[in-house]
């Protein structure tokens, strides 16, 4: 038994019989040429200190991921609660983060919401809620509930929602995107999900890295302390074998970062032009292959402006000229909504709270966060969000963009290209950033923290309803 830690154990449940699939092992079925469990492992890995798979059959196949594979205490296939109890007994972490193996649309940001809601409410359990119903196999919960769960199962009960109702349980609200909880119970459902994907979507790796590296430091009292530093890796983008740029990044969303960078810098206009995005951390490179097979970017690379962006972001070609032709749609926003959004964002700065040294960016819909990214440079984070929007056909209309970094010309240009009408930062702005916002009609808000903010442009779009 491990010593007690205030850390998180990740648990992917793959222990069911899948009767509606004729007994096939759902975690090993292919979705977009990859076993479904691989999506769950990629989503949960950045948030946990240790990760295990709960499986009652095909254990050797599951061990190919290099993780502990643990079976239920008996062979009765007693459902997800039996798998959770097994995980509690396996490792003495304070918190468990649990998800099933058959929900490939779930990402790290969704699971992070479970953990932040659990901590914010000091609850025993946090369960996912889509606005209509609970999704009780998506959980963050305390390992101290082991005795309660053991007694519940020993009494012959198995219904997870009944046990949840007996605990201090809170809900993580996913009303903004309930479709992510689509789990695959039949072969027809798997086929329908495959067909429903964007036909222009490129073939991509899913090579996100854990964001932190552990090390030991000596504090001011001469005491050794275990700390975490934000990871930083070089990633060189090649398009049709032509070197474009080297970015310094945490590496949590390398494919989205690549897509967003190429779009924001004007290298590639249409997602349909991209056939492959393949990240290889062994060579610290990402290879992008276009459908044309050969491209010439000499003109874009020849006209380069080094900006003030953290990490030496660059603006290629004539993006400033292009900006003159873009006007974003206006959006009226209440002061109370901004305050609610800032409260929500505070819960999402997970990496910064843990290790510092990063910038965060968020695409927001009202006071809800659609997509949140942290990276060593704010331009990397905004590019990853741009890639997410491009890949999923998300419009910037009616959205708010939040960043922890300065409101520079580069930041305003990128947000304008996304079509987002409101740009919000906890930091200050540059004169050129303000000028760009005026040109494009972007509402620009700086120094937004707590109950304070400064509207630099677009004050007529902010309803000060809290005066």
pLDDT, one tens digit per residue, over 169-223 is: 999 999 878 878 876 666 566 665 654 555 567 888 878 876 566 666 665 566 7
Residue 422, pLDDT > 60, answer yes
156/172 Cα distance (integer angstroms): 29
pLDDT of amino acid 22: 54
- Domain spans, the chain: 5-197, 212-323, 333-463
- Of 149-153, 267-271, 404-408, give the range with the top mean pLDDT: 149-153
Residue 127 pLDDT level (bands cut at 50, 70, 90): very high
Is residue 433 within 8 A of residue 409, CB to CB? The reply is yes
Average pLDDT over residues 278-299: 86
CA 418-294-410 angle, to 5 degrees, is 25
Quick one: what percent of the chain has pLDDT higher than 90?
29
Residue 96 pLDDT level (bands cut at 50, 70, 90): very high
89/30 Cα distance (integer angstroms): 31
pLDDT of amino acid 171: 94
**Pairing state of beta strands 169-173 and 125-129?**
parallel
Residue 123 pLDDT level (bands cut at 50, 70, 90): very high
By three-state DSSP, how is residue 352 classified? helix
CATH 3.40.140.10 fits 333-463, yes or no: yes
User: In angstroms, how far apart are the furthest CA atoms of the chain?
Assistant: 73
pLDDT of amino acid 2: 34
pLDDT of amino acid 3: 35
Residues with Cβ within 8 Å of 453's Cβ and at least 6 positions away in sequence, in order, are 338, 424, 445, 446, 447
139/124 Cα distance (integer angstroms): 10
Task: Pick one of 3.10.20.10, 3.40.228.10, 3.90.180.10, 3.30.70.360 as the CATH number of 212-323.
Answer: 3.10.20.10
- Name the token pair of 209: 């890295």
As beta bridge partners, residue 76 has none
Report field, pTM of the whole predicted structure over 0.75: no
Average pLDDT over residues 382-406: 91
- What is the chain's mean pLDDT, rounded? 81
pLDDT of amino acid 4: 37
Residue 317 pLDDT level (bands cut at 50, 70, 90): very low
441/462 Cα distance (integer angstroms): 14
Domain 212-323 in the same topology as domain 5-197: no
The Cα-based distances of 177 to 173, 182, 260, 395 in angstroms read 9, 11, 22, 15
- 5-197 fold: Spore Coat Polysaccharide Biosynthesis Protein SpsA; Chain A (3.90.550)
43/37 Cα distance (integer angstroms): 10
């Amino acid at each position: 038994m491990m010593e007690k830690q205030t850390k998180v154990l990740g648990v992917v449940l793959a222990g069911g019989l899948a009767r509606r699939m004729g007994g096939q092992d759902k975690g090993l079925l292919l979705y977009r040429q990859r076993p479904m469990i691989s999506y769950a492992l990629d989503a949960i890995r950045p948030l946990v200190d240790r990760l295990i798979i709960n499986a009652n059959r095909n254990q050797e196949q599951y061990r190919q991921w290099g993780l502990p594979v643990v079976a239920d205490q008996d062979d009765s296939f007693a459902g997800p609660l039996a798998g959770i109890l097994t995980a509690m007994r396996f490792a003495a972490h304070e918190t468990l983060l649990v998800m099933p193996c058959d929900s490939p649309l779930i990402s790290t940001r969704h699971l992070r919401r479970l953990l932040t809601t659990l901590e914010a409410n000091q609850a025993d359990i946090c369960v996912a809620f889509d606005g209509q119903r609970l999704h009780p196999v998506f959980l963050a919960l305390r390992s101290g509930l082991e005795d309660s769960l053991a007694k519940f199962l020993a009494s012959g009960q198995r219904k997870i929602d009944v046990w949840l109702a007996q605990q201090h349980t809170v809900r993580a609200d996913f009303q903004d995107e309930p479709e992510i909880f689509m789990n695959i119970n039949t072969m027809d459902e798997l086929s329908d999900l495959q067909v429903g994907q964007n036909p222009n979507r490129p073939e991509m790796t899913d090579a996100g890295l854990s964001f932190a590296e552990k090390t030991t430091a000596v504090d001011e009292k001469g005491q050794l302390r275990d700390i975490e530093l934000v990871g930083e890796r070089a990633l060189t983008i090649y398009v049709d074998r032509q070197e474009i740029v080297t970015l310094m990044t945490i590496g949590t969303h390398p494919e989205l970062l690549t897509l967003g960078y190429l779009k924001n810098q004007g290298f590639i206009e249409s997602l349909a032009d991209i056939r492959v995005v393949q990240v290889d951390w062994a060579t610290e490179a990402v290879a992008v292959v276009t459908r044309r097979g050969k491209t010439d970017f000499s003109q874009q690379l020849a006209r380069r402006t080094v900006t003030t962006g953290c990490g030496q972001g660059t603006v290629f070609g004539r993006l400033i000229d292009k900006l003159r032709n873009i006007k974003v749609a206006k959006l009226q926003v209440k002061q109370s909504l901004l305050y609610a959004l800032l409260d929500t964002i505070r819960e999402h700065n997970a990496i910064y709270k843990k290790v510092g040294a990063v910038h965060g960016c968020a695409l927001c819909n009202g006071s809800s966060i659609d997509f949140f990214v942290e990276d060593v440079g704010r331009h990397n984070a905004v590019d990853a969000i741009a890639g997410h929007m491009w890949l999923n056909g998300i419009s910037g209309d009616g959205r708010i963009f939040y960043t922890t970094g300065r409101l520079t010309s580069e930041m305003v240009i990128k947000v304008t290209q996304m079509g987002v009408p409101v740009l919000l930062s906890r930091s200050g702005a540059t004169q050129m950033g303000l000028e760009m916002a005026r040109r494009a009609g972007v509402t620009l808000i700086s120094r937004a923290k707590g109950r304070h903010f400064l509207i630099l442009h677009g004050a007529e779009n902010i309803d000060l309803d809290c005066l």
